[in-house]
Amino acid sequence: MSGFDGQVILVTGAAAGFGRDTAVAFAEAGAALVLADLNADGLAETAELVGGAETLPGDAADPAHHAALVARAVEAHGRLDIAVNNAGIVHPPLRLEAVPEDLARKVIEVDLLGELWALQAQVKLMQRQFKETGRGGAIVNVASVAGLIGSPTLSAYAAAKHGVVGLTRSAAIENARRGIRVNAVCPAFARTAMVEDTLSLAPDRDEAEALMVRGVPMRRRAERSEVVQASLWAASPENSFTTGQTIAIDGGTTAY
């Protein structure tokens, strides 16, 4: 994917998984990076992998963190071209009536409200940039196939990711004439540490993974690289007419 040379790109949840791989891919395409994650050690490792980046450890559920992150991009590079909002958590498989209040609140605060706070900070800057220079930006929200369909035993997570899809579409419409594109990538279960941790909680891991992919026509999990490439595609200036879309990387799951 071309078109990222010299662009300033912010990635949240960059300490591992999709976030780390996305940061590496953008760095290889010539971008300057601003990275965030709650895991300061993992964040530093990612910065080293990409050959250096601005980093800011912090809680994705904190509005002040996102404001500071955008300010860091401006301080270091003078602008922000692309943001990939990847930070998120998931809860263990539980029936809806068994989800504890504190766990449900935490998932909603990080996965949904965290996206709202991120969008607010990013959109304010990109709107100002567009007004001053005619150059806005692109935002990619990492949602989930659980934001497009029902997800038994992942109710709070699915509710949060449905909310991310709603935020994506609303922000895209509001900013379509302000030089800002907003899209979401919606992967099915992928080969990430978060999914592995979820599988490890099952009494029989192999049986749990078989159940996980039973509804996927391709009968496998997504590779991280497949999700990263979708994020780069959504962010690319080459796709300047694409906004408000939910891009499912799901092996055909939502085709039923």
Q: Nearest to residue 85, comparing CAs of 40, 47, 142, 126?
A: 142
d(C-alpha 236, C-alpha 183), whole Å: 11
What tokens does 158 get? 């699915």
* 165, 186 contact by CB (below 8 A): yes
Catalytic residue among 146, 157, 228, 234: 157
Which position has the token pair 């040379």?
A: 5
d(C-alpha 53, C-alpha 18), whole Å: 17
Residue 40's identity, in one-letter code, is A
d(C-alpha 208, C-alpha 105), whole Å: 26
d(C-alpha 214, C-alpha 109), whole Å: 30
Q: Nearest to residue 115, comparing CAs of 152, 80, 147, 148?
A: 147
Under DSSP, the state recorded for 2 is -
- Is residue 106 helix, strand or coil? helix
Which position has the token pair 């490439």?
A: 229
φ, ψ of residue 167 in degrees (nearest 5): -60, -45
Is residue 157 annotated as a catalytic residue, yes or no? yes
Q: Which residues are catalytic?
A: 157
